[in-house]
Amino acid sequence: MHKPGRPMALTERHVAFLQPPAIAEEMPPPPAGMIQGTREDHLATIASLMAEEPETSEVWFFAYGSLIWKPACDFVELRTGLVRGWHRSFCLGWNNRFRGSDENPGLMLALDRGGACKGVLYRIPANAVEDNLVKLLEREMGWRPSPFPPRWVTVQSGERSIRALTFCIDRNSGRYVSGLSVEQIADVLATAVGSRGSMAEYLFATVTHLEVLGIHDPHLWQLQDLVARRIEAVYGSG
């Protein structure tokens, strides 16, 4: 059972064993069937999203993974909240560039249908909504079509019910991964490394920031323990 304040098994020492390779001067082209998203693409996506919520006076986005510890755009307010009908899952595969390789591809977090997810709400400055949403989409939708397109969800935060943008997996995208056991996911997270770092680093940062915010995710907590054990088995206390 998790106890508040209990230290994580996965530490910066474990993460340090898994170093990214030297970054090539030029990034490889997008995966087959995908093209790089442009500012015009992102503006069109934003226009479509805003048309779905014409009464929105505040624009929020809901973070459940790396956007918690690297928001990608400016914000003026932060709140924790719960979204129902979606859960945090390592279901976006297979990443062989940024946090994986052809030999050991990585798995990224996305929201998948079912359950619930506690995460972080960020409110975008009212006087710079478009520019900041473009930054957000550039980060999350560098290539199109996106395997986890943005959509509106309802997030409960205290007494408030807030409509927010977030990124949910498209199960028909060809990038959807399901049916893996927690042990199989841990095997991936303990070995995959790419140009932006390792999956172990991604997991460590996500769990650390969730815990600081008072959000305990039992699944991620189990994974960080399993990943630490796997790295320890390979590298020992070296």
Which residues does the annotation mark as catalytic?
Answer: 140
Count how many Cα atoms sit within 13 Å of the Cα of residue 64 in the half-sphere of its side chain: 28
Contact by Cβ (8 Å): 224, 6: no
Task: Give, to the nearest 10 degrees, the angle between helix 129-140 and helix 39-52.
Answer: 110
Distances (CA, A) of 112 to 108, 148, 171: 12, 10, 8
Choose among 77, 81, 72, 45: nearest CA to 153.
Answer: 81
Contact by Cβ (8 Å): 212, 68: no
Is residue 88 classed as helix, strand or coil in its secondary structure? strand
Report the distance separating Cα 16 and Cα 9, nearest Å. Answer: 14
